[in-house]
Amino acid sequence: MGIIKLLEDIEPLQSEDFIINKMKNYGFDIQSIDADYDKLGSGFFSKVYKLEDKYALKTNKPLNWYIVKNEAEQYKKLVGKNFDNVVNVKYVNIFNSHKKVIIVMELLKKDEELKQLFSDANVIFQNEKRTVLRAFTRFYHKVYKRKQKLFNEVFKIFKQQILKGHLNDYTYDEDKVLLILQQVHSGMNELRSVGIEPNDIHKNNIMFDPETEQYKIVDFISQ
Ligand SMILES: Nc1ncnc2c1ncn2[C@@H]1O[C@H](COP(=O)(O)OP(=O)(O)O)[C@@H](O)[C@H]1O
Ligand SMILES: [Mg+2]
């Protein structure tokens, strides 16, 4: 039995130590994940590992437990939801006594083109320097959402008003940028539909799902 099957079979009411021991019996030791699995990436508060060539397992660094726990609670809201533009979450467990969380998600891919498109491209929006992705996200919600304009229309205005002065240092494939922004925004709306207000949308938190050929948000809250 694979670890994921085991995790799914675990009753939520069993004690933390019971679950941890059961996992150990299947070769999964939450205390030694670092040594046992390939790292896919890391952020400020967490590390993400590859599990059974199929899943990504996110766990916390030994930092602020309150923040870590709160983030895991948000991921819980995604379990069983098959959103198009938000990572599919399979399992979340919060081990209070060990100050450890594990979040098992589908395995997604980094997209180099996306990273490049949104890497150092900064624009000035509302007197602040912002990356294109963040600037558009703000522009859309603050300025245009109320006016019920179509996404493509908003992008056109964004291009004219915000990108205009920056086009010399920002060369981009317009169709691709539009496609990514559209999918990111659909993901943000999916998150809102389960009560999560995303506030950490940037290039490292958007990944690609080769199966559905969609971009997905993997991380959404900054503390
Ligand atoms: N589902 C996933 N599949 C593959 N890699 C992932 C997945 N989720 C996260 N990663 C990688 O791990 C990095 C850190 O994950 P993230 O959730 O952003 O952590 P943090 O909350 O610390 O920023 C990401 O930037 C990405 O490179
Ligand atoms: Mg992140």
At 197-212, the pLDDT tens digits run: 998 898 999 999 999 9
pLDDT at 27: 76
**pTM across the whole model:** 0.91
pLDDT in tens, 134-154: 889 888 887 777 777 888 889
**How far apart are the CA of 88 and the centre of ligand 2, in A?**
16
Q: Where are the domains of the chain?
A: 3-106, 112-217
- Average pLDDT of the segment spanning 25-52: 83
pLDDT in tens, 89-101: 999 999 998 899 9
The structure tokens listed for 126 are 């509302």
pLDDT at 29: 82
- Report which of residues 20 and 34 the model is more confident about: 20
- Report which of residues 42 and 121 the model is more confident about: 42
- Average pLDDT of the segment spanning 69-83: 96
Q: Letter for the amino acid at 127?
A: N
Q: Whose CA is nearest to atom 14 of ligand 1?
A: 42
In whole angstroms, what is the distance from residue 174 CA to residue 48 CA?
31
Distances 92 to 4, 48, 139, 176 between C-alpha atoms, Å: 11, 14, 33, 33
By CB atoms closer than 10 A (0-12, 13-18, 19+), residue 101 is buried
Note the residue count of the chain. Answer: 223
pLDDT at 53: 87
- Average pLDDT of the segment spanning 78-84: 95
The structure tokens listed for 86 are 């938000």
Beta-sheet pairing, 214-217 with 206-209: antiparallel
Phi-psi region of 150 (alpha: psi -120 to 50; beta: other; left: phi over 0): beta
Q: Whose CA is nearest to atom 26 of ligand 1?
A: 41
**How far apart are the CA of 205 and the centre of ligand 1, in A?**
6
pLDDT at 70: 95
The structure tokens listed for 117 are 């498109």
Which range of 31-35, 72-76, 115-119, 202-206 scores highest in mean pLDDT? It is 72-76
Distances 174 to 115, 162, 190 between C-alpha atoms, Å: 15, 14, 24
**pLDDT confidence band for 120 (50 / 70 / 90):** low
Please provide the DSSP assignment of 102-129 as one string.
EEEEE--B--HHHHHHTSS-EEEETTEE
**Of 55, 64, 207, best ligand 1 pocket probe by most atoms within 8 Å of the beta carbon:** 207
Domain 3-106 indexed as CATH 1.20.1050.10: no
pLDDT at 121: 66
Q: Letter for the amino acid at 72?
A: A
Q: What residues contact residue 143 under an 8 Å CB cut-off, 6+ apart?
A: none
- Report which of residues 125 and 49 the model is more confident about: 49
- Report which of residues 117 and 1 the model is more confident about: 117
Half-sphere exposure (Cβ direction) of 38: Cα atoms closer than 13 Å: 9
Answer yes or no: is pLDDT of 33 > 80: no
